[in-house]
A and B are shown apart, each in its own frame.
Chain A
Amino acid sequence: MTEKSLDITYLSRLAALRFDADETIRAQADIARIIDMIEAMQAVKTEGVEPLAHPHEAVQRLRGDQVTEDPDPGALQTGAPAAQDGFYLVPRFVE
Chain B
Amino acid sequence: MPDPYLDIRELRTLLDGGQCSASELVEAHFARIEHINPRLGCYLRLHEQAARDAAADADARIAQGERSPLLGIPIAHKDIFCTKGELTTCGSKILEHWRAPYDATIVERLAQAGVVVLGKSNMDEFAMGSSNENSAYGPVANPWDESRVPGGSSGGSAAAVAAGLAAAATATDTGGSIRQPASLCGVTGIRPTYGRVSRFGMIAFASSLDQAGVIARSAYDVALMLRAMAGFDTRDSTSNERGVEDLDDLIANDGALSSANLRIGLPREYMDALKSAGYAATLDAARCELESLGMRFEDVSLPSTFAAIPAYYVLACSEASSNLSRFDGVRYGHRGEDAESLEEVYRSSRSEGFGAEVKRRILTGTYCLSYGYYDAYYKKAMRVRRVIRDEFARAFESVDVLLTPSTPGIAFKRGELAGDHIAMYQQDCFTTPAALAGQPCLSMPCGFDGGLPLGAQLIGPHFSDARLLGVAHAFQQATDHHRQRPAL
Return chain B residues, CB-CB under 8 Å to A51: 379, 382-383, 385-386
A86 in contact (CB, < 8 A): no
- Given known pairs A11-B367, A17-B350, A41-B314, the reply for A27 and B360 (CB within 8 Å) is yes
Using a Cβ–Cβ cut-off of 8 Å, how many residues does chain B contribute to the interface with A?
70
Return chain B residues, CB-CB under 8 Å to A34: 313, 360, 364, 421-422
Say whether chain A's binding surface is mostly helix, strand, loop, or mixed.
loop
Could you tell me which residues of chain A, from 60 to 81, have a CB within 8 Å of some CB in chain B? 60-61, 63, 68, 72, 75-81
Pairs of residues from A and B, 9 with the lowest C-beta to C-beta distance, nearest first = A55-B438, A51-B382, A81-B335, A52-B386, A46-B383, A79-B332, A41-B310, A41-B307, A16-B346
Whole-angstrom distance between the alpha carbons of A56 and B237 in the complex?
13
Report yes or no: A46 in contact with B360, Cβ–Cβ below 8 A. Answer: no
Could you tell me which residues of chain A, from 13 to 46, have a CB within 8 Å of some CB in chain B? 14-19, 27, 30-31, 33-35, 37-44, 46
- Distance in angstroms from A40 CB to nearest chain B CB is 5
* 18 interchain pairs, CB-CB under 8 A: A11-B367, A16-B347, A16-B350, A17-B359, A17-B363, A34-B364, A37-B309, A37-B313, A38-B368, A50-B383, A51-B386, A54-B238, A54-B438, A56-B438, A81-B330, A82-B335, A91-B339, A93-B342
Taking Cβ atoms with an 8 Å cutoff, the residues of A that contact B are 6, 8, 11-12, 14-19, 27, 30-31, 33-35, 37-44, 46, 49-56, 58, 60-61, 63, 68, 72, 75-82, 88, 90-91, 93
Whole-angstrom distance between the alpha carbons of A45 and B309 in the complex?
16
- Given known pairs A27-B360, A61-B237, the reply for A14 and B307 (CB within 8 Å) is no
Report yes or no: B345 in contact with A91, Cβ–Cβ below 8 A. Answer: yes
B234 in contact (CB, < 8 A): yes
- Given known pairs A51-B382, A79-B98, the reply for A11 and B370 (CB within 8 Å) is yes
Whole-angstrom distance between the alpha carbons of A88 and B351 in the complex?
21
B331 in contact (CB, < 8 A): yes
